Structure 1
Amino acid sequence: MKISPIGGCQETLCIKVPKVYDWVTRQADIFRTFNRQTGLDELDFECTNGFTPEADPCLILNGGNGNSTLGINCDNLNVECIITDAFGNPVDPEADNGIICKEITDPRNRESFEFTLNGETVTLQKVKVLKKGFFRIQVSNGNGVVCISAPQSFATVEKFYLCAPRGTTLQCHITDFQCEAVLCCRDDGTFEQVDVSINMCQNIQMEAIVKLEITADFCQPRQEIPFECPPLQVPPQCPEVFPGS
């Protein structure tokens, strides 16, 4: 339904809006490996059966007793990678501040470089962007015993060449986030290693607040669709039994 503007005519308006100076997308990949006793100490697992600290999820969840002949096994336990804050509380990695994403270059003094694009010389600025967060590794065997690690940090710094003149600020949004972990146990049923793979898509924008003059119509709310309460539904009478004759 078309809505007529208040006053019935257009006006010249001055509005304040964020202007996008540049916008790119890129996938970031982060890998971490925790090996043998050093990695096990770093992960610092706690298990629901009370085997803490320095709990070994391979021994506890596989029931290893030093006589196993399974060899290196990475398939028989359920392993999850959970994104958390620094205190180990789960967070949504795609929510604001779920993953820290910020510029670490001085926005007042970004270095400029010249590039040739489509036969023309353009000047772009180098912007360094930090992504960092935390994760925990949770391992279970389907029998009600769960081992979960202490929070572990991850971080990566990337360079972007963007139209980022002085006065613009970085806007970073994380999308399509995945964290996967694989646990491998040794042939004696003890911990071998955990491999963690983190993949995220990032929208990187350079923005600045600007004031624009536009010609536009004022708008007003639409007419609300009327709502009427339906009549009360009275259950049918039972004339055969009530009221009695």
Structure 2
Amino acid sequence: METEGLRPFPPFETVCIEVPKVYDFCFQAERRENVCTPLGKCCPPEGATVNCIINSAVCSEVGRSTPDQTGRANVTFAVTVTYTLQVLDAGGMIVCEFEDLMFSFTKTVVLCAPVGTFTNCEIVSSACTCLILGNQICCTFDLCLVIQSLAIVKLLIPSFGFCTPAMCEQVSPQPPFVCPPTLFPPQCKPLC
């Protein structure tokens, strides 16, 4: 008997597949300011601008803490950005060019990453803006990192659509320093 307003599920096949199961999936917007390069012998004319070209932006896992009882760990990634700067005159002609410039930093996020998982970090979009300040070019870089922890598993599944990432959790200070401290007693759990 059919209940009013409810439709029966369409028939589907249950299959066993071997897949990389996603244990955690998040994104992190990262901004790096004041990445500066000396002008050296380059003498930009009045009204000169800077064109910034990001050649590559990669990240990879370089460390992780022991997972806690829930399987969560602090996972650290090394991010390396390689870029080119072009100083342009008011007519858009290249006055001087700085190639193969690079900077790196580390980023730590909290992931569900129990023993047996591996991570994948991708920089899915990037942008940079630069100004000539005195005798140097200073740039701001914006990067969008998408991070996953995965393991190869066998699953019985139906398909329900695409996954979207949630924002990465920030790393909390480790004991003995805790901020903020526990201010109130915990709330009682409901009985049902």
**TM over 0.5: same fold?**
yes
Q: What does residue 59 of structure 2 align with?
A: 101
Asked which structure has the greater CA Rg, the reply is 1
Aligned letter for 2:48? L
* Structure 1 outlier segments of 4+, above 3 Å: 9-12
Identity %: 29
- 2:148 aligned to which of 200, 205, 208: 205
TM-score (norm 1): 0.54
Aligned letter for 1:112? P
SS of equivalent residue, structure 1 residue 152: strand
User: Structure 2: where are the runs of 5+ without partners?
Assistant: 1-10, 160-192
Deviation of 1:123 after TM superposition, in Å, equals 4.5
Q: What does residue 40 of structure 1 align with?
A: 39
Between the aligned partners of 1:157 and 1:132, the Cα distance in structure 2 is 9
Deviation of 1:113 after TM superposition, in Å, equals 4.2
Aligned letter for 2:87? V
Between the aligned partners of 1:11 and 1:137, the Cα distance in structure 2 is 55
Flag the 1:143–1:15 CA change in 2: closer, same or farther, 3 A.
closer
Flag the 1:77–1:25 CA change in 2: closer, same or farther, 3 A.
same
More strand by share: 2
Deviation of 1:152 after TM superposition, in Å, equals 1.1
Between the aligned partners of 1:135 and 1:215, the Cα distance in structure 2 is 44
Contact 2:67–2:115 (CA<8 Å) still a contact in 1?
Answer: no
Deviation of 1:20 after TM superposition, in Å, equals 0.8
Aligned letter for 1:81? C
Flag the 1:13–1:136 CA change in 2: closer, same or farther, 3 A.
same
Between the aligned partners of 2:154 and 2:147, the Cα distance in structure 1 is 22
- 1:56 aligned to which of 29, 38, 42: 42
Tell me how many residue pairs correspond in the alignment. 147
Q: What does residue 79 of structure 1 align with?
A: 50
Q: What does residue 174 of structure 1 align with?
A: 123
Q: Deviations over 1:65-107 (max 9, x none)?
A: xxxxxxxxxxx212111112xxxxxxxxxxxxx322100016x
- 2:136 aligned to which of 149, 169, 193: 193
SS of equivalent residue, structure 2 residue 114: coil
Q: What does residue 111 of structure 1 align with?
A: 66
Q: What does residue 155 of structure 1 align with?
A: 104
User: Structure 1: where are the runs of 5+ without partners?
Assistant: 1-8, 42-54, 63-75, 85-97, 115-121, 186-191, 217-245
Contact 1:30–1:155 (CA<8 Å) still a contact in 2?
Answer: no
Q: What does residue 129 of structure 1 align with?
A: 77
Q: What does residue 21 of structure 1 align with?
A: 23
Contact 1:57–1:139 (CA<8 Å) still a contact in 2?
Answer: no
TM-score (norm 2): 0.67
More helix by share: 1
SS of equivalent residue, structure 2 residue 39: helix
What's the RMSD between the two structures over aligned residues? 2.4
Contact 2:58–2:123 (CA<8 Å) still a contact in 1?
Answer: no
Between the aligned partners of 1:178 and 1:27, the Cα distance in structure 2 is 11
Between the aligned partners of 1:13 and 1:184, the Cα distance in structure 2 is 61
